[in-house]
């Protein structure tokens, strides 16, 4: 089995901003004004929803483009419901709107393709999480 690593470094540029750096890219996050930030970027948890929706999106886009199917009218929408008592989102729904001329024979197949989303797979079979303190940080 090949093991690939994703290395991400986090910086704190001020206020409630937290930026993630990986490769030559930076993802900037901030808390909303309501949560004490400036609202200059998405909140970190929002990126979870964005990654889920765009992951499904790339799978359905790839399904269509490899079959030369039109993507005009193709739409992916994610909806979530927050439970304030549990302080979590117990339900996430993703709706895919297909183009009007989408062939009926491919409907089940594109649904299966959407379910291949790697982000979803990691939620259904979560990885092991290890959070450690640098040895220099521990007294």
Residue 138 has what pLDDT?
A: 59
Say whether both 66 and 120 belong to one domain. Answer: yes
pLDDT in tens, 73-84: 999 999 999 999
- Can you give the pTM of this predicted structure? 0.86
* Range of the structural domain that residue 37 is part of: 1-42
4 vs 87 pLDDT, higher one: 87
For the chain, report the end-to-end CA distance as a whole number of angstroms: 38
Whether 133 maps to a domain, the answer reads: no
> 3 and 51: one domain?
no
Same domain, yes or no: 48 and 23 = no
pLDDT in tens, 74-119: 999 999 999 999 999 999 999 999 999 999 999 999 999 999 999 9
- Is residue 38 assigned to a domain? yes
Q: What angle do CA 116, 122, 128 make, to 5 degrees?
A: 155
Does 139 fall in a domain?
no
pLDDT at 37 over 60: yes
Total of domains in the chain: 2
Cα dist from 38 to 14, 35, 84, whole Å: 10, 9, 24
């Amino acid at each position: 089995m090949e093991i690939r690593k994703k290395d991400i470094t986090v910086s704190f540029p001020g206020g409630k901003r937290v930026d993630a750096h990986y490769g030559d890219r930076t993802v900037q996050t901030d808390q909303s004004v309501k949560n004490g930030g400036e609202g200059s970027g998405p909140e970190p948890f929002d990126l979870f929803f964005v990654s889920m929706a765009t992951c499904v999106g790339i799978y359905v886009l790839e399904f269509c483009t490899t079959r030369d199917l039109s993507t005009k009218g193709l739409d992916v929408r994610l909806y979530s419901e927050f439970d304030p008592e549990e302080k979590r989102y117990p339900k996430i729904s993703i709706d895919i709107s297909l183009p009007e001329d989408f062939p009926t024979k491919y409907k089940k197949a594109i649904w299966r393709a959407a379910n291949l989303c790697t982000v979803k797979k990691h939620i259904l079979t979560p990885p092991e999480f290890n959070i450690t303190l640098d040895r220099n940080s521990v007294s």
